[in-house]
Each structure stands twice: as C-alpha cells, then as structure tokens.
Structure 1
Amino acid sequence: MRGGRTGKPKVTLAAKRAKFGGCRNALEHRVRQQLGAEFEYETTRMPYTIAHHYQPDFIDPIAKRIIEVKGRFPESDRRKMAAVRKQYPDYQIEIRFSNPDTLISKTGTQTYRTWCTKHGITATKA
C-alpha cells in the first residue's frame, strides 16, 4: 500500500506498535522502559473540559430567551450552540438565519433548520 504524495509505503499503527514494543513511537518506548511496572501505557481515557464563554447576540434574561443571528453556521458554531443548549436547558434558544434551509454540506441533506430542530433550537429566517 502506498501513502500520500511521497509514494512511500504507508506504515500502520499496528506495525508501529509492533516495532516499538506496543508504543506509538521510539520515544514513548524508551520512556516506558525507564518507568516501573506500575505504569500502564494508554489504558485510560480521561475526559476533560475547556471552559469557554458565550455571548449571545440578544438575550431576555427574565423570559430566558436567547436570539442568535447567523449567516453561516460552521461546525465550530454548531458545537458551541449544542453545548449551550445542553448547559442551559431552561433557556429558549432561537437562531435567525439569513437562510435556515441552507445545506450544512454540499453532499448532505441536513439543513441549518433540521440541525437546530434535532438539538432543541428554534430556527427561523431573519
């Protein structure tokens, strides 16, 4: 199997691990040999959170309504709005789009509106 533009054979992760005693690379293998048996190699997944701040375009804090205005709705904004929806379930969130029926991707069928509906967010035309 050839990989990328270089034409060099593509090395699989399994092949790398076999070469480096179960590790991904030579440096990790060397450190593994220096550590005691009490250390496990990549056996645990640890979730973490990076704190961000969200500043809504418009907010009615008494009625707990958020209005966001969007032309484009890239993946980073979708991820942010999904997180806001999850963390503020008592707020009504509405996104007013220039065109809520815009497809998220050229090859897909999901629109901004269908994404919002799926995530409990109201989508309307601005």
Structure 2
Amino acid sequence: METMQTLADHSIRRALSFAGLGVVTLMLALSYDLPLALRTGGNILALVCLGLLWAAWRTPRRNLRRSELWSLLLEHASALVQSLPAAEAQRLMARTLRQRLVWHAEQVGAVALALWVLALLLSLVMA
C-alpha cells in the first residue's frame, strides 16, 4: 500500500512539475507588473487545482490499467500487482490515486491562495 502511494505521488508530482514550470515561466514574463504576475499565477494554479479535483472525481470510473501508475507498479512492485486479483487491484489503485490527487489539490490550492493574498497586499501597498 505504501509503495502504491509513493508511486502515485511520483506520477502526480511529475505532472505538477511541468505545470509549475509553465506557471513560473508565465509569471516571469509578467514580472514587470508584480501584482499582475502573482494574480495570474494564482489563477492558473487554481485551474490546476480544479484539474486535480476533476481527475480525482474521474478516477474510480477509469480503467487504471492504462495509467502511468499501473506502469510504475508493474516496474517497481510487480509481485504486489500479480498477487492481487484484477478487481481488487483496480479498487486499491483507484482509492489510493484519488486520495493522493485530493491531497495534492489541497496543496496547490493553498499556494494559489497565498499568491492571491500576496497580489492583494502588494496592490494595496503600491496604490
């Protein structure tokens, strides 16, 4: 179970690192207006948060044997995958992946909120 959680985190964080790279690049492009850059970063991270929540909502309905998590499990924990019946593996993967997606969505949402607050404070200071 802990191996599955670790691999799910790895898969989610890989995707989030690419999203973060895009957000940081856009914020750097808008750095001439710092409140605008912070607001834009917060808005995009809020969209990422919604995407994570949507993926978590969809997870129990998808066939996870076509997911990156399944590939990682086959590579790193093939004994665990082969010891479980297919329905049990699907249920366990769906529960774990959904839990980890919601946890990451909470973290991304907190960062978005922090960026919005910083943008608001900076706008008030600069006005």
**Same fold by TM (over 0.5)?**
no
TM category, shorter = under 0.3
Q: TM-score, normalised by structure 2?
A: 0.23
Greater relative contact order structure (CA < 8 Å, 6+ sep): 2
Bigger-Rg structure (1/2): 1
Greater share of residues in helix: 2
Greater share of residues in strand: 1
